[in-house]
Amino acid sequence: MIKPYFCSVEIYFQVGLDDIQHRVMIDLLVDVMSEPFFDQLRTKEQFGYNVSVDVRWTYGIMGISFEVVSSSKSASQITERIDKFIIEFRETLRNMKHETFAEHICGLAQEKLEMHNSMAEETDSLWAEIMDKRYDWEISRNEACALRSIKIQEAIDCYDRWLLGMKGDTKKKEGPKAEAAPTFGKKNCLTVQTVGCNGDGRPSIESADIDSHVDELVDKFHRHANHTTWKTNL
């Protein structure tokens, strides 16, 4: 029997507690990145057969998740390629025309304002608000309204802060004091690598040692994030 050869990598960036302004900003950034991410890694480079960037909402905590599943690349190669995309896409976002940015806002707002196809679909939406304890019965309309106020520089600032770990003024500067290349920090970032039996980079760990190895990785993540925790009312 041929053992499976595959690798799956998910890089999750934790943004913070849920609020409508940051929620729609995350939605917008994901909308802007989704097609270029898929086109570059899946269509052009054939890096994986499942390539996506998605919004994550977990018990009141918001985040952005990049995921690639591949049968030809190692976990380390995938991780490096996702990191590279995130760094390089910053320039794409900075140079994006205001008209193009506005098209993304309008398209996302229109998507949010689409009518429910059935009473069951609307019921599911309302129950989700109860389960999530947000109780925003007009969430689609409110999010569409919040999108209208977003400026492209605000999106760049959030991208720099959430995905690159940059702080302070990130506006483009001209002349001799032009800004240096961005640094890629990973605070509040979690990378999960799943390696198949024949996959490159699979650690040589005995079955009895798996639990302690996982505990060590989790502890390393918490140390790297300065033991930051998010508190919710859930």
Domains in the chain, number: 1
Range of the domain at 28: 7-214
- Where does the pLDDT of residue 130 fall: very low under 50, low under 70, confident under 90, or very high at 90 and above? confident
Inter-axis angle of helices 139-147 and 20-38, to 10 degrees? 70
Q: Considering the domain boundaries, does residue 45 fall inside one? A: yes
**Could you tell me if residue 57 is inside a domain?**
yes
Determine the Cα–Cα distance for residues 18 and 172; give it in Å rounded to an integer.
Answer: 29
pLDDT number for residue 187: 62
Q: How many degrees, rounded to 5, is the angle at CA 211 between CA 207 and CA 216?
A: 125
Answer yes or no: is 219 within a domain. Answer: no
Q: What pLDDT score was predicted for residue 133?
A: 74
User: Do the Cβ atoms of 13 and 58 come closer than 8 Å?
Assistant: no
Q: Please check whether residue 226 lies inside any domain of the structure.
A: no
Q: Is there a domain that residue 126 lies in?
A: yes
Q: Which residue has the tokens 């989704």?
A: 34
pLDDT, tens digit, for every residue of 174-231?
455 555 555 555 568 888 888 876 555 556 666 677 788 888 888 887 787 776 655 5
Q: Please report whether residue 166 resides in a domain.
A: yes
Q: Which of 35-44, 66-75, 125-134, 156-165 is predicted with the least confidence, judged by mean pLDDT?
A: 125-134
Give the phi and the psi of residue 26 in degrees, each rounded to 5: -60, -45
| CATH code at position 77 | 3.30.830.10
| CB atoms closer than 10 angstroms to residue 169 | 9
Residue 15 lies in a domain: yes
* Average pLDDT score over residue span 80-101: 93
pLDDT at 24: 92
Instruction: Dihedral sign for Cα 120, 64, 12, 47, please.
Output: positive
How much is the mean pLDDT over the chain? 81
For residue 129, give the H/E element and its range: helix 119-131
Cβ-based burial of 62 (10 A; exposed 0-12, middle 13-18, buried ≥19): buried
Q: Is 233 left (phi over 0), alpha (psi -120 to 50) or beta?
A: alpha
Q: Which carries the bigger pLDDT value, residue 124 or residue 79?
A: 79
Q: How many helices (H) and strands (E) does the chain have?
A: 7, 4
Does residue 25 lie within any of the structural domains? yes
